[in-house]
Structure 1
Amino acid sequence: MNNEAIHISLKVSKLNVGYSHKKRQNSIVEGIGFSLLKGELAAIVGVNGIGKSTLLRTLGRVQEKLSGNIWLNGKPLESFNARDLAAKISVVLTDPIASKNLTVLELVALGRQPYTNWIGTLTTDDVSKIKSAISMVGLEDLQHKKCYELSDGQLQKVMIARALAQDTSIILLDEPTTHLDLYHKVHILKLLKHIAHSTHKTILYTSHEIEMAIQLCDKMLLLDNKQNAFGEPCELIKKKSFESLFPTDTITFDPKTGSFKVNK
């Protein structure tokens, strides 16, 4: 086994994702293949409706794959029971929070559920992990506030802190910068990059912010249901992978600036 293989945390091969209804399968994206190393920040990008969220939910086993393979730290994803999986992968979806009446501290503490006993008693280690998560995302001054009192950006940081408190090797986030202004989008993504690099967790998120991902991510997966290109942003630019994402008569990609331009 080579050195890189030891550090692969998530690997996908010939993966088809979509939905099953009775005996019929509705495939959305096919032939996906990539691998992520520990400590990498990666983005899944593509046009609306291409299947970014479906893929992310499949990787977190929130929904079943149609076919193909997903390995988590070298083991098939389906080999993990629910409790063990919750200690390996944390998933932050766009679903609304069940109760915004919780305080920031209470919500972050829910990340320790996979480890607590049946009455949810927190150990000294649990409390330490919760405090560390709150500190890492800079929520100390807000920890006793109710979640309904927070801005969208603050609430997103709380959800990241909950995932950190869960202390998994992989964190999956669906559209973590939705509804945020430019400053807060950049702030959240730079925070995720810092967390990935400093804690050696693998962080994978979906996004429409392609130009931002090019600047900040270690790896990117471009869903187009054709090539589904994957690699470092600079590699994808050289391969002209971004130029096929949108109709060229409307939007073109400038490889020199790493940005899209509207054709007037």
Structure 2
Amino acid sequence: MNTKNPHIALSTSRLSIGYQHKKQQNRIAQDISFSLQQGELAAIVGVNGIGKSTLLRTLGRVQPSLGGEIYLDGKKLALHDPLELASKISVVLTEPIASKNLTVVELISLGRQPYTNWIGTLTDLDKEKINDAIALVQIGELKHKKCYELSDGQLQKVMIARALAQDTSIMLLDEPTSHLDLYHKVHILKLLRHIAHETKKTILFTTHEIEIAIQLCDKMLIMEKEQSSFGEPCELISNKNFENLFPTDTITFDSQTGSFKVKK
């Protein structure tokens, strides 16, 4: 893997993830290797409990890895100081927001924290980035609403706008389409695809919407415990990587249509 390639935004080499308690390691998944270029939309998929969220948190340095390496712009993730990291990676996790009493614009403004002074004064540049994020996600009409007044889909857009306002080159999102109906799932993922391709940000997200991800993503990572598969969706299909994702006596993968079929 050429981690020095200036077009590689985020990459891993034989990464192991999990949790460490005192001297005991609970390794969830290992041998995870991939590389993402600027402007790519990529999904992390796999069965429940395989470590999709754990991987995302490890990539965002919310928790430590158990082995292997993560590279950000060709430099080891561990060598970035916290402020530098906050200007390069934004993370949208599934935890509920601290206060739904904030207005939409107040919540989005929190994305500028890595750049503001100690009292959090917004400069003209900060306000410009906030307005750009609101315009890109098309939520101008929600600006002054309280977050508790929003639907799940609207709140998800606001969280994406907050990450955009942070103006990082990499965005990591954990289950950005959870609790949404099919239309809004597709709408959010098409929005992320548009953002990645238009702004040249690298966007990596976890999802259970495998069939939608196959249609919209540039790259996909299929997580398995011992070794994961990575590549373009069509490449993964031709390599039959989706076919053993679920027990074949219940669900099979149709490589012709790129969809899963239930065995009756």
Q: Structure 1 length as normaliser, TM-score?
A: 0.98
What secondary structure is seen at the aligned counterpart in 2 of 1:193? Answer: helix
CA contact (8 A) 2:16 2:29 kept: yes
Amino acid at match of 1:32: I
Amino acid at match of 2:41: L
Matched, 1:50 2:50: yes
CA contact (8 A) 2:174 2:206 kept: yes
Deviations 1:25-57 (A, max 9, x none): 100000000000000000000000000000000
Matched, 1:222 2:219: no
Aligned equivalent of 2:69? 69
Equivalent pairs, count: 264
What are the ranges of 5 or more consecutive residues in structure 1 without an aligned counterpart? none
1:30-49 to 2 correspondence within 5 Å?
Answer: 30-49=30-49
How big is the shift at 1:225? 1.7
- C-alpha distance in structure 1 between counterparts of 2:76 and 2:6, whole Å: 15
Amino acid at match of 1:172: L
Aligned equivalent of 1:96? 96
- C-alpha distance in structure 2 between counterparts of 1:259 and 1:162, whole Å: 33
CA contact (8 A) 2:30 2:227 kept: no
How big is the shift at 1:107? 0.3
Aligned equivalent of 2:7? 7
How big is the shift at 1:227? 3.4
Amino acid at match of 1:173: L
Aligned equivalent of 1:243? 243
Deviations 1:63-114 (A, max 9, x none): 0001110000011101111111000000000000000000000000000000
- C-alpha distance in structure 2 between counterparts of 1:137 and 1:79, whole Å: 33
- C-alpha distance in structure 1 between counterparts of 2:213 and 2:139, whole Å: 25
- C-alpha distance in structure 2 between counterparts of 1:68 and 1:176, whole Å: 27
Matched, 1:191 2:184: no
How big is the shift at 1:263? 0.3
- C-alpha distance in structure 1 between counterparts of 2:96 and 2:256, whole Å: 39
- C-alpha distance in structure 2 between counterparts of 1:79 and 1:104, whole Å: 34
Aligned equivalent of 2:203? 203
What secondary structure is seen at the aligned counterpart in 2 of 1:252? Answer: strand
RMSD: 1.3
Aligned equivalent of 1:154? 154
How big is the shift at 1:219? 0.2
Q: Which moved more, 1:74-83 or 1:37-46?
A: 74-83
- C-alpha distance in structure 1 between counterparts of 2:263 and 2:16, whole Å: 34
Matched, 1:135 2:135: yes
What are the ranges of 5 or more consecutive residues in structure 2 without an aligned counterpart? none
Q: Structure 2 length as normaliser, TM-score?
A: 0.98
How big is the shift at 1:226? 3.4
